[in-house]
Amino acid sequence: MDGFSQKEEQRLLKTLQQESDNLGLVERRKFLKNAMVMVGAGAVVAQTGSVIASSNLPPAVPSWSRKLGDGVLTNPYGLPSDYEKDTIRRTVGWLTPDRISSISMTPLHKLKGIITPNGLAFERYHGGLPDINPDEHRLIIHGLVERPLIFTMDELKRFPSVSEIKFLECPANGGMEWKAPQMEGLQFTHGMLSCCEWTGVRLSTLLDAVGVKPEGKWILAEGADGSGMTRSIPMEKALDDAIIVYAQNGEALRKEQGYPIRLMNPGWEGNTCIKWLRRLEIGDKPWYQREETSKYTDLMPDGRARKFSFVQECNSVITSPSPEVPLKVKGWYEIEGIAWSGKGKIKGVDISLDGGVSWRPAPLKGMIISKCLTRFSYMYNWQGEPLLLQSRAWDETGYVQPTFKQLRAERGGNSIYHRNAIHTWKVHSNGSVQNAQLS
Ligand SMILES: Nc1nc2c(c(=O)[nH]1)N[C@H]1C(S)=C(S)[C@@H](COP(=O)(O)O)O[C@H]1N2
Ligand SMILES: [Mo]
């Protein structure tokens, strides 16, 4: 059929069968046998699950190869395939019942490499998503400076620009897990995390333009959204690597991420990366705003709060398998995950199959960039045994990701933020994966 001789057809099916045998894909082999029978009998539709038509499977020529497709500009702004409708940001109902002061999370289990596509980067709003006309938007820099200045978007884009791939993480990422393993899904345990290529002008360049007075030691950054988000940023960070960002993964910043400009403090609490940025005031001390006192601080066991916990410390998680990516058949798997550190480069990752009793190195792969997601992977032949999967990362400063026990011993049980403990996935013998914590 479809131009293949009976002999050719059988040879092709045999090759496919061998290939699937080599991969150990039991289900696929069963399915192919099934498909072969149906094709042999000339049936139009053979199904393993629900909607797979054998007429579209090799050696047949699929229906979409027999006609011309849609033309260009079917989607003037490109969209993912209709078959990827499941790859979306998600919220947790009980955590953020309203959408105005809310958070949606990145589907980390669906992502490859280190870049988060713009439509999938988690969003955090304290006062809803403002709709800002860039022609009417201005950035004001004033306070302890020689020349207070007001910049238009065009003016900001005339300065030399930098493009850097950096992760962005809400310090509340995984905060629900302090009490117990509550969230059944990687998207919810770790999804307040994204990693994009950010383009903009270094804050130090703009500070040069206004001329910071010697007493100028802190900067108040303020957003133009209804929440009036404000955070105090030390001058050292501003002069080190902070960026006033207007582009994300090559295109204009998304509305959700702060269009037309935001502050990006690489490796620091996402909360300090003020979106829809409208004002920078230079002062000689911090302002102690709401979001750095009553919120975004950790209450320690002695009843005192940690002051300015800016850095997102080293963390890692296995992305596959995970609750959303169970093991379907026995055989070889690439156990994969991501590691990141707000202090610099990831130096190494170990993984454990037995809940931290023994560890083996999981090689890093792809680009290894400072304050950026880094991939690790480990090949494993799974034969249906239960596993307690963990990853433990360390960074170039020597900081090692702590166990939950170590983290709790230091921080007690009152925290919401900065939960970077080694995470456990319990793999059951049927291949399903559960969020777990070991005492
Ligand atoms: N103006 C403004 N900036 C803001 C926020 C906000 O609500 N308003 N939320 C902050 C918080 S808590 C985080 S974690 C990051 C999230 O950035 P994202 O929405 O691009 O993921 O933005 C920060 N900047
Ligand atoms: Mo946040």
CATH architecture entry for 93-306: Alpha-Beta Complex (3.90)
Ligand closest to 125 (CA) is 1
Confidence band for 62, pLDDT divided at 50, 70 and 90: very high
Distance in Å, CA 315 to ligand 1 centroid: 20
Mutate to test the pocket of ligand 1, among 103, 124, 166 (most ligand atoms within 8 A of CB): 124
Confidence band for 6, pLDDT divided at 50, 70 and 90: low
- Give residue ranges with CB within 6 A of ligand 1: 121-126, 168, 170, 194, 223, 225, 227, 229, 256-257, 270-271, 273-276
pLDDT score at 10: 57
Distances (CA, A) of 229 to 105, 111, 215, 372: 20, 30, 24, 25
What's the distance, CA 136 to chain centroid?
Answer: 32
Mutate to test the pocket of ligand 1, among 101, 167, 194, 229 (most ligand atoms within 8 A of CB): 229
CATH architecture entry for 315-436: Sandwich (2.60)
* Average pLDDT for 3-29: 44
pLDDT digits (tens, 9 = 90+) for 92-132: 988 888 889 999 999 999 999 999 999 999 999 999 999 99
Distance in Å, CA 231 to ligand 2 centroid: 12
**Atom 12 (ligand 1): residue with closest C-alpha?**
271
Written in H, E and C, the secondary structure of the chain is CCCCCHHHHHHHHHHHHHHHHHHCCHHHHHHHHHHHHHHHCCCCCCCCCCCCCHHHCCCCCCHHHCCCCCCCCCCCCCCCCHHHCCCCCECCCCCCCCCCCEEEECCHHHCCCCCCCHHHCCEEECCCCCCCCHHHCCEEEEECECCCEEECHHHHHHCCCEEEEEEEECCCCCHHHCCCCCCCCHHHHHCCEEEEEEEEEEHHHHHHHHCECCCCCEEEEEECCCCCCEEEEEHHHHHHCCEEEEEECCEECCHHHCCCCEEECCCEEHHHCCCCEEEEEEECCCCCCHHHCCCCCCECCCCCECCCCCECCCEEEEEECECCECCCCCEEEEEEEEEECCCCCEEEEEEECECCCCCEECCEECCCCCCCCEEEEEEEEECCCCEEEEEEEEECCCCECCCHHHHHHHHCCCCCCCCCCCCEEEECCCCCEEEECCC
* Average pLDDT for 26-55: 48
Place of tokens 């990141």: 340
pLDDT score at 94: 87
Mutate to test the pocket of ligand 1, among 101, 123, 126 (most ligand atoms within 8 A of CB): 126
Label residue 96 exposed, middle or buried (CB < 10 Å: 0-12, 13-18, 19+): middle
Which atom of ligand 1 sits closest to the CA of residue 258?
Answer: 20
Confidence band for 372, pLDDT divided at 50, 70 and 90: very high
Mean pLDDT check: name the lowest of 11-25, 167-181, 258-272, 293-307: 11-25
Domain chopping of the chain, boundaries: 6-62, 93-306, 315-436
* Average pLDDT for 169-185: 93
* Cis check: omega of the bond before 260, within 30 degrees of 0: yes
Identical fold for domains 93-306 and 315-436, yes or no, is no
Distance in Å, CA 287 to ligand 2 centroid: 19
pLDDT score at 18: 47
